[in-house]
Structure 1
Amino acid sequence: MEVSMSFSHDMDDEYEKLIRRMNPPRVVIDNKACKNATVIRVDSANEYGILLEVVQVLTDLNLIVTKAYISSDGGWFMDVFNVTDQDGNKVTDEGVLEYIQKSLGPEACFASSMRSVGVKQSMDHTAIELTGSDRPGLLSEVSAVLTNLKCNVVSAEVWTHNTRAASVMHVTDEETGLAVTDPQRLARIKELLCNVLKGSNKTRGARTVVSHAVTHTERRLHQMMFADRDYERVDDGLLDDNQRPNVNVVNWQDKDYSVVTIRSKDRPKLLFDTVCTLTDMQYVVFHASIDAEGPEAYQEYYIRHIDGSPVKSDAERQRVIQCLEAAIERRVSEGLKLELCTTDRVGLLSDVTRIFRENSLTVTRAEVATKAGKAVNTFYVRDASGYPVDSKTIEAIREVIGQTILKVKGSPEDPKPGSEESPTRFLFGGLFKSRSFVNFKLIRSYS
């Protein structure tokens, strides 16, 4: 990590701070202007990355953006979002509304988290970033290594796409409950995990990073998979062109913009995923229009590269298309949704993923969190051969994990009719996220 900073960079930062003080952001939240949504308008001095900052705040609150109009041409940033909660209702929670005002209003510093990726330090946990080739049971092996090294996974998220896997895991020392700080132990963790990720695959690399950095997990996952080139399509024969997002890029010569249009099935966080990818590819969004009120979402972006130029070649155009397709597909999970809640303990993740592996389950996507001593877990699982999980397998797992801990809703045997196949992915074997109850539900997830 480069820590030196030039005098000119310092002056640029001071100039940006001055501009923000002279033109503080203005946030207006209106629950009367629209019948079916809360309208949030943000006006501010324009800065590179400000759009991602705003979208990130709304996404982290699990708000659904149904419409958006964005304009940041010149020195001023103006955009309007129509948002609802997860149930499709207007946002009326005073705590949420106050948080939006504080996060996006005059008290906020939009550039802070953009510049703090991999910089802020935390002594509460150690962050482990993993990328490598996906295969059945990989998480089971990773979590077993961490358990043997006396580490507890307190939170994590794993994405898989196009035969690649990436994870951000937060672990603590088993004895102290705090971050692992011993340099030799950290080096050992990195070495062993990297060996597991490499496996017998010599054609694609594996990467393990261990630090105390505080990052935005979902943005880091996008960055990690982008760096791992998961957008380079593997012809697995499972996803035809008609099922992929429709992404197009053309140049508008009169205005010197490139126009990106995206049509895809709507899902939560779709806007964040596309804006995050454009930002990390160093494109600036000057204007945009978003419409996601129906089952299909339509997004239109007028962009230039950060150097001021539109897309220059067909090769660049194809790369933009591929990267946006990958960003949209990474979150798509299908299969049986498993939700579990139980008392947290060291080795729990290792035990659960081992049970999945022993019952021939493959996890397509998963998340992990612990809160107040509880491990709350979410898995999307399929049979290792790609078929839905049958009731006998579910009952076998319930017998091992516990009938009261694991509950089933819906029919495990019934595959969802007309469901789309997602790109081949095996996932590490299982992971978790916060829930207050335990259930299985057969769905295709876009969360």
Structure 2
Amino acid sequence: MAFISEGNMNFSSHYMDDEYEKLFRRLNPPRVVIDNESGKRATVIRVDSANKHGILLEVVQILTDLNLIITKAYISSDGGWFMDVFNVTDQDGNKIIDEAILEYIEKSLGPESCFSSPMRSVGLKQTMEHTTIELMGSDRPGLLSEVSAVLTNLKCNIVSTEVWTHNTRAAAVMHVTDDETGSSITDPNRLSLIKELLCNVLGGGNRNRGAKTVVTDEVTTHTERRLHQMMFDDRDYERGSDDESDEKQRPNVNVVNWSDKDYSVVTIRCKDRPKLLFDTVCTLTDMQYVVFHANINAERPEAYQEYYIRHIDGSPVKSDAERQRVIQCLEAAIERRVSEGLKLELCTTDRIGLLSDVTRIFRENSLTVTRAEVTTKGGKAVNTFYVRGASGCVVDSKTIESIRQAIGNTILKVKGNPEESVPQDSPTRSIFGGLFKSRSFVNFGLVKSYS
């Protein structure tokens, strides 16, 4: 008779659980219904599926990655079944009529998704074409400029970057390639050098809190979820005793226990913005809470979210300390994506060192980058920056003009005030030579962004 060890029994148990889940999903495949008739202003998407932890985040992530606006939602996942209804529009507030988008939603959430790899979950991207760099440290003026300069000197091409700052901390997820090969960096000595030099840059700020650098070519979590996880692990939600930030500007988050049903009820009221639902659901999921029911309404300028939750162990919020932690973490999750100040949008032909040069101009003009989204596609770089002046002050017109002179041939616009504009073709000579002369543009707008 074969000897079965405890380890083999555990493996067998996990294997059987996995096979049972696959069988259950095959017998009860997800069903997606897309309705463009019943709603007057929005497309209605209904998803019915076997329940599992994280499925709500998975659905919300897919819709969010398509840049759809969720105006209303109803979620119910009591028992072994998950059912939710979303009212969605495009960025202009119209119904979704693009057949390619509708087909993608059906394939991503419908029966075909049962047999796809679990790596699909929550926007996970399987690629070995780039190296991923994760940075966490104290925020300070010029940090992004210093980081991008180091990578440029090490002959790394920055393919995409997302940077968030919150409560004096900065987090970044960067995708880079080797300048010569255009693929991921594999030399262990070079990877070690990249990590060492970036750690030195991050260590140049406030040493009272730690800095962290991770360099990997492994498949990683969806970028925005990873940024939430990094800042959560860094405890950016903790506010010091001397924090004098305006309480009125914070989201209104409340947590109470509904003893009759053994749920905790979380309510959130704040200014609406795209991806708000993702940010809150992502945080609840990563804090190991299960959403059993939820009502979402974002049709007005103020968004209202109501969640009925339990911890993954089946218990509601147990103490006042836990309640305060849930409130603080949700506040932080909402605030991380809110940026005040000057919005800069840059679109031009991509090249090695572009991000380093642009952020150097910001630094030389005493601007601090509070959030950044950098992407490249088809040889074009599309970058969005949110910047502030020294000590958080508003960026003045002289600084804007200085940046225009440095970059050259720009389009300058103050959003919300169309009368304040500048000629589209500035004769000023650019420090980049002819880089920005070919149908490229830079838009500047003084805004408070919730996107």
1:233 alignment partner, SS class: coil
Q: Distance in 2 between matches of 1:100 and 1:209?
A: 33
Shift of 1:117: 9.0
Q: CA 1:38–1:321 in structure 2 vs 1: closer, same or farther (change >3 Å)?
A: same
Aligned counterpart in structure 2 of residue 169 of structure 1, from 162, 169, 174: 174
Aligned counterpart in structure 1 of residue 370 of structure 2, from 350, 364, 369: 364
Alignment of 1:74-93 (within 5 A): 74-93=79-98
In structure 1, what is the equivalent of residue 428 of structure 2? Answer: none
Shift of 1:269: 0.4
Aligned counterpart in structure 2 of residue 410 of structure 1, from 414, 436, 450: 414
Shift of 1:8: 2.4
Matched, 1:322 2:328: yes
Aligned counterpart in structure 2 of residue 156 of structure 1, from 138, 155, 161: 161
Aligned counterpart in structure 1 of residue 68 of structure 2, from 42, 63, 73: 63
Shift of 1:412: 11
Matched, 1:304 2:304: no
Matched, 1:123 2:128: yes
1:107 alignment partner, SS class: helix
In structure 2, what is the equivalent of residue 431 of structure 1? Answer: none
Q: What do the CA deviations read for 1:308-350 (whole angstroms, capped 9, x no partner)?
A: 0111111111100000000000000111111111111111111
Q: CA 1:218–1:408 in structure 2 vs 1: closer, same or farther (change >3 Å)?
A: same
1:286 alignment partner, SS class: strand
Q: Distance in 1 between matches of 2:143 and 2:216?
A: 22
In structure 1, what is the equivalent of residue 13 of structure 2? Answer: 8
The question of whether the paired residues in 2 share the 8 Å contact of 1:129 and 1:167 is answered with: yes
In structure 2, what is the equivalent of residue 420 of structure 1? Answer: none
Alignment of 1:34-433 (within 5 A): 34-109=39-114, 112-113=118-119, 122-214=127-219, 215-234=221-240, 239-403=245-409, 406-410=410-414
Tell me, which stretches of 5 or more residues in structure 2 are unaligned? 1-7, 419-438
> Which segment drifts farther, 270-279 or 205-214?
205-214
Matched, 1:444 2:448: yes
Shift of 1:445: 0.9
Shift of 1:123: 2.3
Shift of 1:134: 0.4
Q: Distance in 1 between matches of 2:244 and 2:385?
A: 22
Q: Distance in 2 between matches of 1:337 and 1:236?
A: 29
Q: CA 1:30–1:121 in structure 2 vs 1: closer, same or farther (change >3 Å)?
A: closer
Q: CA 1:374–1:268 in structure 2 vs 1: closer, same or farther (change >3 Å)?
A: same
Shift of 1:389: 1.5
**Which AA in structure 2 matches 1:72?**
S
The question of whether the paired residues in 2 share the 8 Å contact of 1:394 and 1:412 is answered with: no
Q: How many percent of aligned residue pairs carry the same amino acid?
A: 80
In structure 1, what is the equivalent of residue 4 of structure 2? Answer: none
> Which segment drifts farther, 191-200 or 88-97?
191-200
Q: Distance in 2 between matches of 1:24 and 1:35?
A: 30
Tell me, which stretches of 5 or more residues in structure 1 are unaligned? 415-434
Provide the aligned length of Structure 1 versus Structure 2.
422
Q: Distance in 1 between matches of 2:111 and 2:305?
A: 29
1:48 alignment partner, SS class: coil
Q: Give the TM-score taking structure 1 as reference length.
A: 0.90
Shift of 1:143: 0.7
Q: Distance in 2 between matches of 1:294 and 1:395?
A: 37
Q: Distance in 2 between matches of 1:272 and 1:379?
A: 21
Q: Distance in 2 between matches of 1:326 and 1:378?
A: 22
The question of whether the paired residues in 1 share the 8 Å contact of 2:58 and 2:122 is answered with: no
The question of whether the paired residues in 2 share the 8 Å contact of 1:50 and 1:111 is answered with: no
- C-alpha RMSD of the superposition: 2.2
Shift of 1:52: 0.3
Q: Distance in 1 between matches of 2:240 and 2:368?
A: 20
Q: What do the CA deviations read for 1:191-213 (whole angstroms, capped 9, x no partner)?
A: 11111111142210011111113
2:395 alignment partner, SS class: coil
In structure 1, what is the equivalent of residue 434 of structure 2? Answer: none
Shift of 1:111: 7.8
Q: Distance in 2 between matches of 1:115 and 1:83?
A: 21
Shift of 1:410: 2.0
Q: CA 1:53–1:159 in structure 2 vs 1: closer, same or farther (change >3 Å)?
A: same
Shift of 1:11: 2.2
Q: Distance in 2 between matches of 1:175 and 1:138?
A: 26
Q: What do the CA deviations read for 1:65-105 (whole angstroms, capped 9, x no partner)?
A: 11100000001000000011111111111111111001100
Q: Distance in 2 between matches of 1:6 and 1:344?
A: 49
Shift of 1:114: 7.2
The question of whether the paired residues in 2 share the 8 Å contact of 1:231 and 1:325 is answered with: yes
Shift of 1:385: 2.8
Q: What do the CA deviations read for 1:29-59 (whole angstroms, capped 9, x no partner)?
A: 0011110111000000111110000000000
**Which AA in structure 2 matches 1:122?**
T
Q: CA 1:115–1:86 in structure 2 vs 1: closer, same or farther (change >3 Å)?
A: closer
In structure 2, what is the equivalent of residue 23 of structure 1? Answer: 28
Greater RCO between the two (CA within 8 Å, min separation 6)? 1
**Which AA in structure 1 matches 2:347?**
C
**Which AA in structure 2 matches 1:245?**
P
The question of whether the paired residues in 1 share the 8 Å contact of 2:165 and 2:371 is answered with: yes
1:438 alignment partner, SS class: strand
4+ residue runs over 6 A deviation: 114-118, 411-414
